[in-house]
């Protein structure tokens, strides 16, 4: 059996901890694929799980990491052969099933996406769950006929992984993008991604009024809470807001007014479960016309497996910028 290193999350006396351990890799069973992980990435969800700050994992011990890309080494499914480049995000990977913070991963073949032409393994993880989430949001916007002519888009939590990619990808599609952040010192960074305007969270007046002045054609919201309610109230007629996060809370203080007086659409996105045809189609777009022109600039940091435990706090304290990659093998 192959020995490999992995970051495992443990629970003892209701306390959560994580550490790098040596594990043994068993052969795949029918329908499964084993791949050598080359790259992973850290998401807010990973930080919650590894520190116990959120009730993400229920079974322990568990290898963390909801993203991974690598090369197939063994397969009991005819769709994948040794040497194939693949990626996986979502499903129960890194939560209910051992994940990508490891030198090897074994998953059901149905979870895998062949690496599309136009992306390498590292670029796939700069995108990862964050980029796939934005891609699903772009699909939802296209499905309702949203277009740049409806007005500027506001991206909340704009310096994080999802937010940074949303700013850049929306700008690349011709939208006027405004970025909302609590980090005034990152205004130049956000403008470099394509934001034409930067709003500071501390300057917002969250009055709770049913309707605000219609300032935006819509937005990408990763924070939830009162800010999402304010964004809905500030969206113009027939605009659309994509909701894909809850960094500021899971409550949604709003009224029916934006929906029945302005025809605003609230579009939910989940990257965990979606039809496989959608998943593969979105990844094809992420590798082609939706691929950020300066994708490499989104990777602000690279860490190793051993460095992971010391990095999660940056995500919980909102100190992370862009995407943090985990360099594992290859």
Q: pLDDT tens, 234-264?
A: 999 999 999 998 877 788 999 999 999 999 9
Long-range contacts of 114-117 (CB under 8 A, 24+ apart): 114/80, 114/84, 114/85, 114/86, 114/280, 115/69, 115/84, 115/85, 115/86, 115/87, 116/283, 116/284, 116/286, 116/287, 116/288, 117/287
Query: What's the confidence (pLDDT) of residue 262?
Result: 98
Q: Is the dihedral of CA 283, 163, 169, 137 positive or negative?
A: positive
Query: What's the confidence (pLDDT) of residue 26?
Result: 87
Query: What's the confidence (pLDDT) of residue 316?
Result: 86
Q: Where in the chain is the domain with CATH 3.90.180.10?
A: 2-115+295-327
**Residue numbers of the chain with a pLDDT score lower than 70:** 1, 330
Query: What's the confidence (pLDDT) of residue 267?
Result: 98
The burial of 272, by beta-carbon neighbours within 10 Å (0-12 exposed, 13-18 middle, 19 or more buried), is given as: middle
Query: What's the confidence (pLDDT) of residue 246?
Result: 81
Q: Which CATH number fits domain 128-268: 3.40.50.720, 3.30.1320.10, 3.40.50.300, 3.40.228.10?
A: 3.40.50.720
Q: What is the mean pLDDT of the chain?
A: 93
Is 173 in contact with 138 (CB distance < 8 Å)? yes
Q: Where in the chain is the domain with CATH 3.40.50.720?
A: 128-268
CA distance 167 to 162: 9
Q: What residues are paired with 25 via a beta bridge?
A: 2
Q: Does domain 2-115+295-327 have CATH number 3.90.180.10?
A: yes
Query: What's the confidence (pLDDT) of residue 1?
Result: 63
């Amino acid at each position: 059996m192959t020995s490999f290193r992995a970051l495992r999350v443990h629970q003892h006396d209701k306390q959560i901890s994580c550490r790098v351990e040596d594990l043994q890799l068993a052969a795949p069973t029918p329908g499964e694929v084993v791949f050598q992980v080359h790259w992973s990435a850290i998401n807010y969800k990973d930080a919650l799980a590894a520190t116990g700050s959120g009730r993400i994992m229920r079974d322990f011990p568990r290898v963390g990491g909801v993203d991974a890309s690598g090369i197939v080494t063994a397969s009991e499914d005819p769709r994948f052969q040794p040497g194939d480049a693949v990626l996986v995000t979502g499903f129960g990977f890194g939560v209910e099933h051992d994940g990508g913070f490891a030198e090897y991963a074994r998953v059901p073949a149905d979870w895998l996406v062949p690496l599309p032409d136009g992306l390498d393994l590292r670029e796939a993880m700069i995108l990862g769950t964050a980029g796939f989430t934005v891609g699903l949001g772009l699909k939802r916007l296209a499905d309702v006929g949203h277009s740049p002519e409806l007005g500027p888009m506001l991206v909340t939590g704009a310096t994080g992984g999802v937010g940074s990619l949303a700013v850049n990808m929306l700008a690349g599609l011709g939208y006027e993008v405004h970025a909302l952040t609590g980090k005034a010192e990152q205004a130049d960074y956000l403008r470099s991604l394509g934001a034409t305007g930067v709003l500071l969270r501390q300057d917002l007046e969250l009055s709770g009024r049913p309707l605000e002045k219609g300032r935006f054609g819509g937005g990408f919201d990763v924070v939830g809470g009162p800010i999402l309610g304010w964004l809905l109230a500030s969206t113009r007629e027939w605009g659309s807001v994509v909701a894909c996060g809850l960094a500021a809370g899971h409550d949604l203080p709003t009224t029916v007014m934006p929906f029945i007086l302005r025809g605003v659409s609230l579009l939910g996105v989940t990257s965990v479960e979606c039809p496989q045809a959608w998943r593969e189609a979105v990844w094809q777009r992420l590798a082609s016309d939706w691929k950020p022109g300066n994708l490499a600039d989104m990777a602000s940091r690279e860490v190793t497996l051993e460095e992971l435990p010391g990095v999660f706090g940056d995500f919980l304290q909102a100190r992370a910028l862009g995407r943090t990659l985990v360099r594992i093998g290859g």
